[in-house]
Structure 1
Amino acid sequence: MTARFPLPLILLVLYLFSQNSFAKSDTETYGDIGAVTLPLFAAGWSYLNNDQQGIEQFSKAALSNLALTQLLKYAVHKKRPQGNSYTSFPSMHSSVAFQSATYLQKRYGWKYGVPAYTLASYVGWSRVKSNQHYSIDVLAGAAIGILSSAYFTERYKDLNIAPYANADGVGVHLAMNF
């Protein structure tokens, strides 16, 4: 079966470019590039590896992330720091970046997760630094992105190790995919 490139990613890229064609600083421009590069890399890596299951997981996470983030933007109706619109909460750039980073980490491991989370953190920082969002907007966007991929994404291959804690104690859950 041939992997298909996810339509939500194409829509996301068009949305981000349409919103930020005229960035005012290098920080904002590089943050915009990171917000587009992360989902392109995440979906592209799955596509190049013919990982149809991964593409489906990425698409579900991306769609739920985009829908919830957009819904909250209009439900909360929070004014941006510059005062130019009422779509500050939560940060779409941050939710997209952290959704992609979490997908990469959870699907392919920390080898991909560390650089992805580093870039996602820069994207979030750039939104505050360029006066597009408040810190709480970025944190909320990051949380939405992380949770959407954490819910839909499964490990690609090999051993999956996850710590857990509950009322009975703490431990490590080990799972092997064959």
Structure 2
Amino acid sequence: MFRSLLLSLTCSSISFAGTLEQTGNLLLAAQTLATPGYEWSIDDVPGLKEYGESQLCNALTVLGLKAAIDKERPDGSGYDSFPSGHTSIAFANATHAAVRYGWNRYTVTSFLIATGVGYTRVASERHDETDVVAGALIGASSAYLFTTHHRTKALSFRYIPHGAILSFRHEF
């Protein structure tokens, strides 16, 4: 009884901004695991390499700018507000997936998640809109620079009435 009352009081005392920030962090973690996880599942080694290169470029750019520009966070917790690293990672993930595999349900969802991460950074007062937009542009640009379209080869065989069809598809 006492534990449930204490848990209830603790949960109700968590601020809305803190909960929102945690939600954004969870969305980012899921997206960051899903992007290379998909590439690993289809054995797309070049895609994994490009993902790593784009995230390295993204991280170096963001960390360099954070060190060079001492912008205070809206909540006053530090002087590393510009640009938003969380947003840059999220948009690098989404852009990498879109460039590599084209527009589909996953990439649209990934961009919605990236936008949600940016929103949570502003709503939780960790960044302002300028920080988030800059992070999105840096992340998207980093992925765009290092990512190539995934080319697929497909050989298919299909039975039809009174025969069969053998087809070969290659994307250039």
Q: Under a length normalisation based on structure 1, what TM-score does the superposition of the two structures give?
A: 0.75
Structure 1 Cα separation of the partners of residues 134 and 55 of structure 2: 16
Partner of 1:115: 109
2:37 to 19, 32, 44: 44
Amino acid at match of 1:126: T
Shift of 1:37: 1.6
Partner of 1:149: 143
Structure ID, larger Rg: 2
Q: Does 1:88 align with 2:66?
A: no
Post-superposition Cα deviations, 1:10-40, rounded to whole Å, max 9, x if no partner, equal xxxxxxxxxxxxx953211110112222221
Runs of 4+ aligned structure 1 residues displaced above 2 Å come to 23-26
Q: How many residues align?
A: 140
Shift of 1:157: 2.3
Instruction: Give the conservation status (yes or no) of the 8 Å contact 2:36–2:48.
Output: yes
Instruction: Give the conservation status (yes or no) of the 8 Å contact 2:71–2:81.
Output: yes
Structure 2 Cα separation of the partners of residues 38 and 177 of structure 1: 27
1:60 to 31, 36, 53: 53
Q: Does 1:138 align with 2:155?
A: no
Partner of 2:119: 125
**Residue ranges of structure 1 left out of the alignment (5+ in a row):** 1-22, 159-175
Q: Percent identity?
A: 36
Shift of 1:91: 0.2
The residue matched to 1:85 in structure 2 has which SS? coil
**Residue ranges of structure 2 left out of the alignment (5+ in a row):** 1-15, 153-169
Instruction: Give the conservation status (yes or no) of the 8 Å contact 1:106–1:113.
Output: no
Aligned-CA RMSD value: 1.7
Structure 2 Cα separation of the partners of residues 52 and 151 of structure 1: 18
Q: Does 1:69 align with 2:65?
A: no
Amino acid at match of 2:50: Q
The residue matched to 1:146 in structure 2 has which SS? helix
Structure 1 Cα separation of the partners of residues 95 and 108 of structure 2: 10
The residue matched to 1:151 in structure 2 has which SS? helix
Q: Under a length normalisation based on structure 2, what TM-score does the superposition of the two structures give?
A: 0.77
